[in-house]
Amino acid sequence: MLNFLLNENVLAVAPVCGFFTGHMLMSLKNNILDPAAHKAFPKNFFGDTDESKKVTINWRVFIKEFVIWLIMVGIFYIIWAKLLKKSPH
């Protein structure tokens, strides 16, 4: 069934992998880059008026998302390599 869906272009591997990649990149931005920018620039640089908000870099959340991305892209690569490998004519 999965082979039929992939061969008939009903389901493509690249857009599904792109979804997971976008999610991982958003996690990188939200958990690493944004907190690092808030620590690197002056307090009012981003227009924040809430001084009591503590900003921390969340390495654990990003590493969890990265591992999920790595596993999913690996699974989709195996699906692509095994099911869509064209035999030479």
Q: 0.95 exceeded by the pTM? A: no
Ordered mean pLDDT values, 10 residues apiece, the chain (89 residues)? 62 80 93 88 70 82 94 87 61
Q: What is residue 13's three-state secondary structure? A: helix
pLDDT of residue 30: 92
pLDDT of residue 31: 93
pLDDT of residue 87: 45
pLDDT of residue 49: 62
pLDDT of residue 74: 92
DSSP characters over 40-85: HS-TTTT----TT------HHHHHHHHHHHHHHHHHHHHHHHHHSP
What does the domain layout of the chain look like in residue ranges? Answer: 2-42+53-83
Closest CA to 68 of 19, 33, 29, 35: 19
Q: What's the rounded Cα separation, in Å, for the pair 15 and 85?
A: 18
